[in-house]
Structure 1
Amino acid sequence: MPDWSARLNELAVAAEVPGAVLGIWHDGATTITPYGVLNAATGVETTADSLFQIGSVSKSWTAAMIVQLAAEDRLRLPDPVVKLLPEAPIDSRVTVRHLLTHTGGIDGDLFTDTGRGDDCLQRYVALLADVEQLFEPGTAYSYCNAGFVVLGRLIEVLDGRTWDESLRARLIEPLGLTHTVTLPEEAILHRAARGHTAEDSSPVRTWQLPRSIGPAGLIAASAGDVLEFARMHLTDNAYAAMQEPQVPFAGGIGGFVDLGLTWRIYDWDGRRIFGHDGSTISQTAFLRIDPEARLIMCLLTNSGNGTRLFEPLATEVFRELVGVAHPDSPQPVDAPIDAPIDDRNVGRYERAGVRLDVGRRGDRLLLTEQATGDRLAFAEEPVHEYEMLPTKPLDGDHFVIRYSPDHPWVPLTFTPTHLFTSGRVTPRR
């Protein structure tokens, strides 16, 4: 296997990522390559066993525990959630499968801190009585953190212990993982990364999301432990259903074409790959698994610029080992010179935690993103403005935006009733 140290160093410098660890497992051989510093304020060096927050990659760990409970005949995926968890104040038609596939319709970005106590998930779930139902269950896809907190609470009730304790008993200890934690008092016993903003790489003020978000994104782990968890999905057929397509994903950003039971399924040059990404407070993580080549790649970073590093690095790793590349991001398309600016999508779009305002400034359309509510407690950049550029099809409803000239483009799709971006349905107000 090639020595990836030099390329990781070069690409991380170019992407302005202070610290990262690249993990590769290929047909039995493991390589872990660290880079940079864990904290720019202290200069602590990144090591192979350093802990990074893996964000929403945690959802695949929660999903694996749900699959275990199904195998134990303690639940069925078609079961209505309220049948198993009567305390959940959600639509009675929402099933376990809906939550695993982000199709339950619950407004999903509720980041309320319900305390550090063992009852934090129970208290969070009670808050969903006041959360909007965005669409009928099973009729659309919209990324839903709240749904995974509900799944975590379901695990707690069925197991009779906290989600953190079930995680240890069901996955961490059986897999022999020694560098996987959920709580800050556990992380401090290891070398743990601190997030750095995309804007200027300054260290963040808040280290971790609230404990109530645990099942959706609170795991911190080393690259070696992430690889070991991923390897379980290549060697244990008990989890094979997680890789089977359940819901198509429109747009195909990054090659993402279908959703399995939480795993995202990608098409890279006709090759089927699965995995997940994660983002917390300026820490980003990426996991890709090629079952045919028996190849796993993870990249853990302590920066909001992680995607700028991941895309070229993943292309080099997969091109070298498999012969495929990370798909190109969507690109803006020059509109006809005489095309008028269409104002039909100008207005306000809002869901839990974020307000999106589309406005016009001269001959440009702009999107202003504003963090709201509980999200303000850890938003390092609560307001950001993006220029909207048209992309295919040139119908006035499809655009792309990007954080800065060095970042990948992100698509926006408008309908008369909502805006779809970053995998989320945001209603027009």
Structure 2
Amino acid sequence: MSHETLTDFVQATAKKFDIPGVAVGVWMDGQEIYACHGVTSIDNPLPIDKDTLYLVGSVTKTYTATVLMHLVGSGLVELDAPVRQYIPELQLADEQAATEITVWNLLNHTSGLDWGLIVDTGEGDDALAAYVEKMDKLKQIAPPGVRASYSQAGYNLIGRIIEKVTGLTYEKAIISFVLDPLGLSHSFFARDDVMTRRFAVGHNLGNNERLSVARLWRQSRGDNPGGGLVSSVSDLVRWSQFHLHEGKSADFTYILPMELLHRMKDPTIALKGTNHDALGICWFLRDVDGICTIGHSGSANGQFSELLIVPERNFAIVALSNAGPNGIPFNQAVVRWALEEYLGVVDRDPEPIPYSETRAQEIIGIYEIEAQIITIRTDGTKMTLEAGIKPEIRAAADSEMPPDYPPADIGMLPGNGDEFIIINGGFQGKRGFFTRDESGTVNGLDLGGQLFKQTSKPK
């Protein structure tokens, strides 16, 4: 396994995508290798190394799910139990859903809850409880158990279950049950812990086509279970090793019984028209060139993470980057290169079919979730997708929010005609599909396992 070859590719790819600072780690054949390039910030630059801290976004969910499964293994939580068994005060917009949603539904994103809430509930120990109190404003987009739809709010609810069952704050529970036992000494939640160490800041591309430092640096504490962890590429590689092996801590104490560790990787619900085949418990599962992979990605404001594990080959790769919109394409390019270079596994995007005006007129529209909006347009020769934060949410925000993604071309894929792929831009290669009502009319768009309901046609 060549360190020099990895370093050369990472450096060249970071320059190609104009990423200020990247960190990549690979685990293979009992070895760790790292390739780091660039700086933490274009305004206050420090060199990136394997212990530099990044916001890992939704990769945090893998830690949240693992601790929840630890509590299952300890007999303190039942997967089939209703959430109200642990959070009796839970109130949702849909009362029937509030009584029916189970812990299992939260873990594999089948709760039917919308993505989440844009709300700041402070930095106190009650932040998560306060977030849950506001969930009566959250839309129910499907009955529990009917379909998968990715939900940040669902994982914040898991965090609250962890608090109620353990009597600890969510953060202390994660530290006590996984971070400390595994010796993950470069993983934190609190800003005070981060600011005394070397950490990366996000960057976004402005209207002048230049990168600038992203602010807000991170979301509020109430979002920690779904995306608040700050960690390093070295700790994430060690986290991958834990999930590859026997669920033991550094001193060989079992954190997670083997049965539950393996159960997290088993398919629980099939995913249609996405970049993944199924969901396990938190993990996204995909067959790549005949090899089963498990993984999770994450994003914060101008920071992006990708973690992919290949259990049957004892292999893992982690990629971290600190600039949008090209952080995701950088991470994906590195992961694909590593799969082919080290395992001989080739991952290629499917080819779209030729443009059809008839099909385009069926699906152009404005599609929304709680805080985000996607617009599909056509100019008569191709279709484009625009994704961003709802204007009213941006206008009401009291701090800077991530910029909207510029329009990207999309193409329909062979098959039933409702699946598509994004052809270029920051979401290049991401796949989705359009949903239809009983009459066959398009009424929704699923992107990345997240359902956006159509609300109108573009003007």
Same fold by TM-score greater than 0.5: yes
Whole-Å Cα distance in 1 between the matches of residues 68 and 373 of structure 2? 33
Q: Does 1:287 align with 2:294?
A: no
TM-superposed CA distance for 1:134, in Å, is 0.2
Check the 8 A contact 1:330/1:411 in 2, yes or no: no
One of 336, 342, 345 as aligned partner of 1:315: 336
* Distance of 2:312 and 2:447 partners within structure 1: 31
1:245-291 CA deviation, whole Å, 9 max, x = no partner? Answer: 101111242xx211100011121111011111111111111111111
Fraction of identical pairs, as percent: 27
How many angstroms apart in 1 are the aligned matches of 2:355 and 2:348? Answer: 20
- SS of 1:21's equivalent? strand
Deviation at 1:427, TM superposition (A): 1.4
Deviation at 1:24, TM superposition (A): 1.3
Whether 2:362 is the aligned partner of 1:344: answer yes
In structure 2, the CA distance between the partners of 1:125 and 1:232, relative to structure 1 (3 Å rule), is same
* Aligned equivalents of 1:76, 1:120: Cα separation in 2: 25
- Root-mean-square deviation (Å): 2.1
Moved more, 384-393 or 299-308: 384-393
Q: Relative to 1, partners in 2 of residues 1:54 and 1:323: Cα closer, same or farther, differing over 3 Å?
A: same
Contact 1:419–1:428 (8 Å) recurs in 2? yes
2:283 to 250, 263, 281: 263
| Residues 111 and 213 in structure 1, CA contact (< 8 A), matched pair in contact too | no
Q: 1:133 to 1:328 in 2, by over 3 A?
A: same
Equivalences for residues 7-46 of structure 1 within 5 A: 7-46=9-48
Say whether residues 1:231 and 2:241 are aligned partners: yes
Residue 432 of structure 2 is aligned to residue 419 of structure 1: no
Residue 2 (structure 1) aligned with residue 23 (structure 2): no
Alpha-carbon offset, residue 112 of structure 1: 1.1
Contact 1:283/1:302 (<8 A) preserved = yes
Aligned equivalents of 1:364 and 1:320: distance in 2? 35
Partner of residue 241 from structure 1, selected from 249, 263, 266:
263
What is the CA–CA distance in structure 2 between the aligned matches of 1:408 and 1:366, rounded to whole Å?
12
Moved more, 201-210 or 216-225: 201-210
What letter corresponds to residue 451 of structure 2 in structure 1?
Answer: V
SS in 2 for 1:39: coil
Partner Cα separation in structure 1 for residue 416 and residue 144 of structure 2: 31
Stretches of structure 1 lacking an aligned partner (at least 5 in a row): none
Corresponding position of 1:357: 375
Q: CA separation in 2, counterparts of 1:361 and 1:320? A: 40
- C-alpha offsets along residues 301-341 of structure 1, whole Å, 9 cap, x if unaligned? 1122222222332223222322213x2234432236xx546
Hey, what does 1:128 align to over in structure 2?
A: 135
Gaps of 5+ in 2: 93-97, 248-257, 436-441
The offset of 1:407, in angstroms, is 5.6
Residue 213 of structure 2 corresponds to residue 211 of structure 1: no
Alignment partner for residue 70 of structure 1, among 60, 72, 88? 72
Q: Structure 2 CA distance, aligned partners of 1:364 and 1:6?
A: 37
For 1:328 and 1:148, locate their aligned partners in 2 and report how far apart those are by CA, in whole Å.
Answer: 31
CA separation of 1:407/1:423 partners in 2, compared to 1, >3 Å: closer, same or farther? closer
- The one-letter amino acid paired with 1:39 is S
Identify if the C-alpha distance between structure 1 residues 394 and 67 changes in structure 2 by more than 3 Å, giving closer, same or farther.
Answer: closer
Moved more, 259-268 or 237-246: 237-246
State how far apart, in whole Å, the 2-side matches of 1:243 and 1:73 are: 20
1:357 counterpart letter in structure 2: T
Check 1:65–1:378 CA distance in 2 against 1; reply closer, same or farther (3 A cut).
farther
TM-score of the superposed pair, with normalisation by structure 2: 0.87
Query: Residues 57 and 298 of structure 2 are in contact (CA less than 8 Å); yes or no, is this contact kept in structure 1?
Result: yes
Distance in structure 1 (CA, Å) of the matches to 2:366 and 2:329: 29
Give the AA of the match of 1:248: A
How many residue pairs align between the two structures? 422
3-state secondary structure, aligned to 1:108:
coil
- Check the 8 A contact 2:116/2:138 in 1, yes or no: no
User: 1:299 aligned to 2:299?
Assistant: no
1:384: Cα distance to partner?
Answer: 4.0
Is the contact between residue 274 and residue 432 of structure 2 (CA under 8 Å) also seen in structure 1? no
**Residues 289 and 297 in structure 1, CA contact (< 8 A), matched pair in contact too:** yes
Rounded to whole Å, the distance in 1 between the matches of 2:369 and 2:339 is 37
Q: Contact (CA 8 Å) 2:273, 2:433: kept in 1 or not?
A: no
